[in-house]
């Protein structure tokens, strides 16, 4: 059954994913397109970062030609929530990542639409003082 | 609410980036930033803000960017737990005042819930909180990093690193719920909204947003006031420590 994976905000439908309880198996190619993680000899890698597969627990991460994204996410300390009725898995950011961003004192960038659908990034306004202000209709 | 200040200061290399932490999207926010008709604002509000009716109408049509953040991503990035909260970012993209309450106060807690009248001391408290924050922004724009309201990096870091009660699982549950809601499965979203509220009860944005999505109007109803009352002496809007931050 197709599973919708939300990894770093982007929902992606993964046709061949297999959800089994707290495990989510998918082909290497699907893992890469949904999350950017690739299976390499040294482990599961993304850009410059590689996560070695813990010795003795290989079968929790790899099985036949499939990779368990949930096991990888737990290894990375990512929060995971999934809804089995609608086959949606959400992978959040780890607390460490957020703290590291804030520790640098650089204002984290983001991109959001205005009422007309035009996208604005915080970085568009570099060079000006910015009062970043929240509000809501609720 | 900030248009008057923006008009006053915008030629000083300053911009307000207003972000609606609002899963209701454009439909929910449109009337607040592009009202179809001339706006009449409550006398009480005018009294707190110190505006006449002409300014009130102009104030209802901001000319600075108004962004729509349905997933509360900015709240997550900047650890905003309520609205209105604000961050000051300098020309180099550095945070010079981290997330804090932006001119709001607990004055509203003096409101009589049947007559909706605020007590005099509540109105005064609201006005004072608003004015002192606006003054701080003016000072920053006028003086830049020499402003006494610009915090030294060590102080910014200290305030950011204050214990964060935010549970990443609360965010993950909110986000999954919001996704399901957006797909039309609001009933199924409720269990994740409930879990988000349970894990991070101090996140008023999750509480009120999820209440609003589950039942229109409930975010300002008895359930909300129950939660506010449960604070007892603790503040709903902790006052910003405006001064005392220069290293």
pLDDT in tens, B198-238: 999 889 999 999 999 999 989 988 899 999 999 999 999 99
- Residue B95 and residue B66 in one domain: yes
Q: Which domain holds residue B144?
A: 3-160
Give the tens place of pLDDT for each residue, B28-57.
999 888 888 777 777 777 777 777 777 777
A128, part of any domain: no
Q: Kindly tell me if the per-residue pLDDT of B169 is higher than 80.
A: yes
Domain count, chain A: 1
pLDDT at residue B244 in the model: 67
Same domain, B156 and B213: no
- What percent of chain B clears pLDDT 90, i.e. is strictly above it? 66
Are residue B210 and residue B114 in the same domain, yes or no? no
Rounded to two decimals, the ipTM of the complex is: 0.93
Q: Residues with Cβ < 8 Å from A31, sequence gap 6 or more?
A: A37, A38, A39, A67, A69
Question: What is the rounded distance in angstroms from the CA atom of residue A33 to the CA atom of residue A17?
Answer: 13
CA distance B180 to chain A (A): 8
Q: Cis link prior to B84 (omega < 30° from 0)?
A: yes
Average pLDDT, chain A: 92
Question: Is the separation of the CB atoms in B27 and B33 below 8 Å?
Answer: no
Q: Rounded distance, CA A31 to CA A26, Å?
A: 6
The last residue of a domain, from among B135, B160, B185 = B160
Residues B68, A136: C-beta atoms closer than 8 Å: no
- Nearest-angstrom CA–CA distance, B2 and B132: 14
Q: Is the pLDDT confidence value at A126 over 70?
A: yes
Q: Are the Cβ atoms of B20 and A95 closer than 8 angstroms?
A: no
B114 φ/ψ angles, rounded to the nearest 5 degrees: -95, -35
Q: Return d(Cα A71, Cα A68) in angstroms, integer.
A: 5
Contacts of B185 (CB under 8 A, 6+ apart): A86
What confidence tens digit (pLDDT) does each residue in A44-80 have? Answer: 999 988 999 998 999 999 998 899 999 999 999 999 9
Please check whether residues B46 and B75 belong to one and the same domain. yes
In the listed set B141, B160, B179, which residue is the last one of a domain according to the structure?
B160
Which residues, 6 or more positions from B18, have their beta carbon under 8 angstroms from its beta carbon?
A133, A134, A135, B2, B33, B62, B64, B65, B66, B67
DSSP string, A25-63: EEEHHHHHHHH--EEETTEEEETTEEEPPPTT-HHHHEE
Overall number of domains in chain B: 2
What tokens were used for B231? 């604070």
Cβ atoms of B91 and A127 within 8 Å: the answer is yes
Q: What is the model's pLDDT at position B102?
A: 96
| Residue A84, domain extent | 3-96
Which of A85, A107, A113 minimises the CB distance to B89? A107
How far is residue B144's CA from residue B141's CA, in Å, rounded to a whole number? 6
What is the model's pTM? 0.91
Q: Which is nearest to B76 in space by CA: A123, A94, A44?
A: A94
Residues B227, B207 contacting (CB under 8 angstroms): yes
User: Nearest CA to B225 among B195, B204, B199, B246?
Assistant: B204
- Give domain status of residue A107, yes or no: no
Same domain, B133 and B30: yes
pLDDT value of residue B163: 61
Q: For residue B247, what pLDDT is reported?
A: 47
Residue with tokens 């568009």: A124
- Chain A residues with CB under 8 Å of B98 CB are 102
Mutate to test the interface with B, among A5, A81, A125, A133 (most CBs of B within 10 A): A133
pLDDT in tens, B125-138: 999 999 999 999 99
**B29 and B79 both lie in a single domain:** yes
B91 & B15 share domain: yes
Q: Which structure tokens are listed for A115?
A: 């009422």
Q: How far is A61 from chain B (nearest CA, A)?
A: 22
Are B155 and B180 in a shared domain?
A: no
Cβ-defined contacts of B28-33 (< 8 Å, 24+): B28/A137, B29/A115, B29/A137, B29/B66, B29/B68, B30/A115, B32/A135, B32/A137, B32/B60, B33/A115, B33/B60, B33/B61, B33/B62, B33/B66
Considering the domain architecture, whether residues B212 and B192 belong to the same structural domain is answered as yes
Tokens 């959800």 belong to residue: A19
Q: Say if A120 is an interface residue toward chain B (CB within 8 Å).
A: yes
- Answer yes or no: do B45 and B125 share one domain: yes
């Amino acid at each position: 059954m197709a599973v919708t994976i939300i990894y770093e905000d982007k929902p992606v439908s993964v046709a061949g994913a297999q959800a089994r309880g707290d495990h989510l198996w998918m082909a290497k190619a699907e893992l890469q397109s949904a999350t950017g993680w690739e299976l390499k000899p040294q482990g599961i890698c993304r850009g410059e970062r590689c996560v070695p597969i813990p010795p003795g627990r290989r079968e929790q991460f790899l099985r036949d030609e499939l990779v368990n994204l949930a096991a990888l996410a737990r290894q990375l300390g990512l929060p995971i929530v999934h809804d089995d009725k609608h086959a949606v898995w959400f992978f959040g950011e780890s607390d460490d990542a957020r703290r590291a961003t804030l520790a640098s004192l650089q204002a984290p960038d983001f991109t959001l639409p205005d009422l007309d659908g035009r996208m604005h990034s915080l970085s568009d306004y570099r060079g000006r003082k910015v009062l970043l202000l929240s509000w809501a209709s609720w | 609410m900030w248009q008057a200040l923006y008009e006053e200061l915008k030629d000083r290399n300053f911009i307000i980036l207003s972000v609606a932490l609002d899963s209701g999207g454009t439909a929910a926010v449109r009337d607040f930033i592009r009202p179809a008709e001339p706006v009449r604002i409550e006398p009480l509000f005018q009294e707190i803000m110190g505006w006449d009716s002409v300014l009130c109408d102009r104030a209802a049509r901001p000319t600075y960017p108004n962004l729509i953040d349905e997933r509360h991503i900015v709240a997550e990035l900047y650890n905003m737990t309520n609205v209105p909260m604000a961050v000051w970012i300098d020309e180099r993209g550095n945070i010079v005042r981290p997330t804090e309450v932006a001119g709001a106060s607990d004055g509203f807690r003096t409101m009589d819930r049947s007559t909706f009248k605020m007590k005099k001391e509540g109105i005064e408290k609201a006005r004072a909180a608003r004015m002192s924050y606006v003054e701080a922004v003016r000072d920053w724009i006028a003086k830049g990093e020499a402003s006494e309201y610009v915090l030294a990096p060590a102080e910014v870091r200290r305030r950011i690193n204050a214990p964060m009660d935010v549970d990443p699982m609360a965010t993950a549950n909110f986000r999954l719920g919001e996704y399901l809601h957006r797909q039309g499965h609001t009933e199924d979203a409720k269990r994740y909204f409930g879990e988000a509220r349970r894990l991070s009860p101090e996140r008023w944005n999750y509480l009120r947003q999820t209440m609003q999505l589950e039942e229109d109007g409930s975010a300002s109803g008895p359930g909300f006031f129950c939660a506010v009352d449960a604070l007892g002496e603790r503040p709903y809007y902790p006052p910003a420590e405006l001064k005392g931050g220069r290293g």
